[in-house]
Amino acid sequence: MAKLIAAAKKEGTLNVIALPPTWANYGTIIKDFTAKYGIKVNSANPDGTSQQEVNAIKQENGTAAAPDVVDVGQAVALVNTSLFAPYKVSTWSSIPATQKQANGLWYEDYGGYMAVGYSSKFGTITSLNQLLGSKFKNAVALNGNPTSANAALNGVMMANLAEGGTASNIAKGVAFFHSLKEAGNFSPVSATGASIKAGTTPVVFNWDYLNLPSYVGVSNWKVFVPSNAVLGGYYAQAINKNAPHPAAARLWEEFLYSQAATGGQNLWLQGGARPVEEAAMTSGKSIDAAAAAKLPPVSGTPVFLTLGQNTSAANYLAANWAKAIS
């Protein structure tokens, strides 16, 4: 570590991409990394997508502006491993085997579960079928179009699982949203923080860490994770194999996967995201217990989509979504 820190400080710079400062506490994480090591962080395209991250690696390859590291959805990580350098952080054994590539080309970092965030004016929601009721007129929204936005796709998949569908067939989820549309309850507005604050999207399907009252900025906001549809999703870290600042890239990963009170795992947790090393930190008592206690309760067996299941869902949505909600 001493040699890595010295080499990273000599480089003096780290290039990151698509990390919104309000997303999972990344603003604090970047600030704390710079404060600890004196390394300047260049944060490009903070509102970019996972695909734009890997596009930047390709387009800026060999330049000083290329991303050193990426934080991408698993589906994007799986099909772009040729761009990544293998690296195993010092806490490698604390990352579950199913959430990392065996050779260290990518490793999941933080995530959560698909949830329904909603205004408390609706009382308490305990079942997705309640959303078909008359009091939810034009109220239920996704945070994007599920044919192009991954979180929205997972919102439809959550409804699919709640309706008795399987991870391999999203048809019942599309049928549920068709029923919402028929009842006049589906809103075509893509939910944002602004639309939630304005009250135009008072019920939103999104990841739980993006649906917390502290994130959306609405004090009377509740969060519900259906016990029969616990759909998980984690992002993944990877290092550009041609990173312009290779030592800083690796030091960044060490910081993110540190279980210290001021390390990345607890900082993500403080941002409402569930760190990938949560189980190890809980048993080792290094977890921020107060932050963990604020997470929405989850009961049931989690489902994580495989690449094949995600692709199948995307194909079905491409063929059927528009007509289901038209």
Protein fold of 112-230+299-325: D-Maltodextrin-Binding Protein; domain 2 (3.40.190)
Please give the pLDDT value at position 23.
87
- The reported pLDDT for the residue numbered 216 is 85
**Cβ contact 135:203 at 8 Å:** no
For 144, phi and psi rounded to 5 degrees? 155, 180
| H or E element that contains 32 | helix 26-37
Which CATH superfamily includes the segment(s) 2-111+232-293?
Answer: Periplasmic binding protein-like II (3.40.190.10)
pLDDT of 238 = 98
Q: What is the pLDDT of residue 273?
A: 95
SS3 162: helix
Give the integer Cα–Cα distance in Å for 176 and 155. 11
For the stretch 97-142, pLDDT in tens is: 989 999 999 999 999 999 999 999 999 999 999 999 999 999 999 9
Whether the pLDDT of residue 223 is over 90: the answer is: yes
Count helices and strands (H / E) in the chain: 13, 11
How many other β-carbons are positioned within 10 Å of the β-carbon of residue 84?
25
Nearest CA to 201 out of 124, 157, 144 is that of 144
Q: Per-residue pLDDT averaged across 12-27, rounded?
A: 94
Q: Coil, helix or strand for 148?
A: coil
Q: Say which residue the tokens 């949830």 belong to.
A: 115
**The predicted structure's pLDDT at residue 307:** 83
Dist CA 98 CA 61 (whole Å): 30
Query: 2-111+232-293 and 112-230+299-325: same fold?
Result: yes
Q: Identify the CA nearest to 223 among candidates 307, 115, 298.
A: 115
Q: Domain-by-domain residue ranges, the chain?
A: 2-111+232-293, 112-230+299-325
Using pLDDT thresholds of 50, 70 and 90, give the confidence band for residue 267.
very high
Residue whose tokens read 């772009």: 80
pLDDT tens-digit series, residues 68-101: 999 998 888 999 999 999 999 999 999 999 899 9
What pTM, to 2 d.p., does this model score?
Answer: 0.85
Contacts of 34 by beta carbon, 8 Å cutoff, 6+ apart: 40, 41
How sure is the predictor about 237, in pLDDT bands with cuts at 50, 70 and 90? very high
Tell me the pLDDT tens digit for each residue of 132-180: 999 999 999 999 899 988 889 999 999 999 999 999 999 999 999 999 9
Please check the confidence at residue 215 and state whether its pLDDT lies above 90. no
- In whole angstroms, how far apart are CA 268 and each of 76, 276, 316? 21, 10, 33
Listing DSSP states for 277-316 in one string gives: THHHHHHHT-S-HHHHHTSPP--S--EE--HHHHHHHHHH
CA distance 206 to 314: 17
